Structure 1
């Protein structure tokens, strides 16, 4: 079988991503070794299971919808033809390494995030409270949102939307990895930005700017500034389930138990919820202007929701967006620089002999 030079070239173009991911995992391994923390590889298996579940949950209905539109005589033959086509093989081979990165990076990040108290102390919360008040005319931002959002039903909706963010972790990467609608440049930029955001924004910056956020400020630091907000969330949860409340309780319990598994760890600045939304906005607008606008709105909603649900200060989201924009430009520069390096796998130019006219 002749080599598919398009696939080989695409894999060559992904090398900066592989190099950064390897370097990041080596740093993680060094930190685990240095601090005597055992990384549970069962977290990777758990994360893979979550990806599989979301793939079935979302991919199944999409497949049925496409079958209903195509109305083929043989659905099995129709599916086989598309899965075994040369284009499908190309997108599968090109997307698998990026998919594997996502399976590994989230558990690794969770472990490093839970280790922040080993690296430093949480000393920035009072500073971020002061920054918020400086930006919002002396008020804590949640108080300004309360007249609009401070109703149990509204809070429940905001909390549910906030948890929809998980789709960006498990459905979004599948789309950017395997969808033919995403060109190779945007694909590479997205996944390099994805890896760098977890490691640099969610890891390095979160350690440098170590803070716990409003909901954990009192139980962990003795700062009672947000007691009225947490009392409101608890009271609202007694009227109607507020999804964030039990999750926040779980995070606090896991913190005291020194849990290092998937989804563990407490950190406020920067907000990875907002940073990942910003990455999707920056990448999606290159795929479709309408999709880009949708993700911009979603980013703003998540930012507001992070403040209303007491996870974050307003400045957490602001810094996250700014950091992600800078990182996006860095990623673009890295991809451009790599693409200037001649590929050793370039498809040979076909030459034909011509006979001059007599």
Structure 2
């Protein structure tokens, strides 16, 4: 059976070091500047409280500490070696210059793409004022035989404990994405796998904001036709988030410069689902432990239910998210050399193991 082999030269360097992720980020950055200039809109740091350029490196450095400290403590405790000498030895083994360049390059590509994505998402109502919510709901009602998906799920699960459960699922996802990036950049030593995953997520952001701009929607929870369907849900942190996001949108639409913030509402496609599909496919292709693969697919299903139950997305958003996540994994496989012909397949190295090292 033919095995994919990493390419040499410049092509190989780009494949292993996020070349296409950087390209996606730069293209999105250019689009951000163009939209801002043409529509006279401000470009903002998407994370005003803790800026992303601080938060994301902090996540990676925290992951590095978790990678190094247990090894350091174990060696000093068991082997009774000197602390300084052991620390330097562990750092040489785990974090040579090439690994630092790999991790920092991945974080840089990730943040550029993420920051551009958040700004372009905020520009959507100013660039394309059309609203496709009624069409999306109509498609949903056809697919669900005349019913709204959220109402069906409320009837099945109730509006008490399920509100808290699905709110928890939604917020676990928020933490999962940066953690998964840290795993890809810190704990795995298979650089082509890490590059494949980070590139796929960058493509998720790029394709997602493109579709946002073409087909703007706000989602069931924000439409006058469906808002009352969610009035009986138990109050949760999700409720506070939904209200704060709407308040931000109203402020931004009322005074885009004076608001001092960005609006983050766009429903089609569901990137919660799209990126979760990306994660599920990646753990399959990389061949992680069976329990990780099963847990990933289970969490994908729960994420689908959560986005519908809480009113963030239409069912058609979920379907589009599945398609987006699948396409980006395939495209990133081609971009990072992880393929045989047009079929995604991890390119293994002799000196690397396809595993998460802990």
Equivalent residue for 1:117?
125
1:324 aligns with 2:325: yes
Summarize the alignment of residues 176-215 of structure 1 with structure 2, pairs less than 5 Å apart. Answer: 176-181=184-189, 183-201=190-208, 203-215=209-221
Q: 1:84-142: per-residue Cα shift (whole Å, max 9, x none)?
A: 33754322211211111222322221111111011112421111112112122221111
Structure 1 CA distance, aligned partners of 2:63 and 2:156?
33
Inter-CA distance 250–211: structure 2 relative to 1 (3 Å threshold): same
- Check the 8 A contact 2:200/2:329 in 1, yes or no: yes
SS at structure 2 position matched to 1:270 = coil
Deviation at 1:54, TM superposition (A): 4.1
How far apart, CA to CA, are the structure 2 residues paired with 1:9 and 1:244?
A: 44
State the TM-score, normalizing by the size of structure 2. 0.79
Shift of 1:305: 0.4
* Counterpart for residue 283 of structure 2: 284
RMSD across aligned C-alpha pairs, in angstroms?
3.1
Query: Per-residue displacement from partner, 1:209-243 (whole Å, max 9, x unpaired)?
Result: 2110011112xxxx2x34132x112xx11xxxx11
Name the counterpart of 1:3. none
In 2, distance between residues paired with 1:11 and 1:184? 11
- Residues 118 and 264 of structure 2 are in contact (CA less than 8 Å); yes or no, is this contact kept in structure 1? yes
Is the contact made by 1:10 and 1:94 (CA closer than 8 Å) also made in structure 2?
Answer: no
Task: Describe the shift of the 1:88–1:282 C-alpha distance in structure 2 as closer, same or farther (beyond 3 A).
Answer: farther
2:43 to 23, 39, 45: 39
Contact 2:25–2:112 under 8 Å retained in 1: no
CA-CA distance at 1:194 after TM superposition: 1.3
Query: How far does residue 338 in structure 1 lie from its aligned partner after superposition?
Result: 11
Q: What is the rounded CA distance, in whole Å, between the counterparts of 2:193 and 2:70 in structure 1?
A: 27
Matched residues, number:
322
Q: For residues 184 and 67 of structure 1, what CA distance do their matches in structure 2 show?
A: 24
Distance 1:22 1:267 in 2: 22
User: Contact between 1:210 and 1:269, CA under 8 Å: does it hold in 2?
Assistant: yes
Q: Greater shift after overlay, 42-51 or 184-193? A: 42-51
TM-score, length-scaled by structure 1: 0.79
Matches within 5 A, 1:129-278: 129-181=137-189, 183-201=190-208, 203-218=209-224, 223=225, 225-229=226-230, 231-233=231-233, 236-237=234-235, 242-258=236-252, 264-278=263-277
Q: List gaps (5 residues or longer) in structure 2.
A: 1-7, 342-358
- Asked if 2 retains the 8 angstrom alpha-carbon contact of 1:11 and 1:94, the reply is no
Per the alignment, residue 93 of structure 1 pairs with 101
- 1:51–1:125 Cα change, 3 Å: same
The CA distance in 1 between the partners of 2:105 and 2:13, in whole Å, is 9
**Bigger Cα Rg:** 1
Give the distance between the partners of 2:121 and 2:143, measured in 1 at CA: 28
Q: Distance in 2 between matches of 1:262 and 1:75?
A: 47
Shift of 1:251: 0.5
Name the CA shift for 1:142/1:68 in 2 (closer, same or farther; >3 Å): farther
User: 1:58-92 CA deviation, whole Å, 9 max, x = no partner?
Assistant: 66666665556554434554343222337543222
245-254 or 71-80, which deviates more:
71-80
Which shifted more, 164-173 or 244-253? 164-173
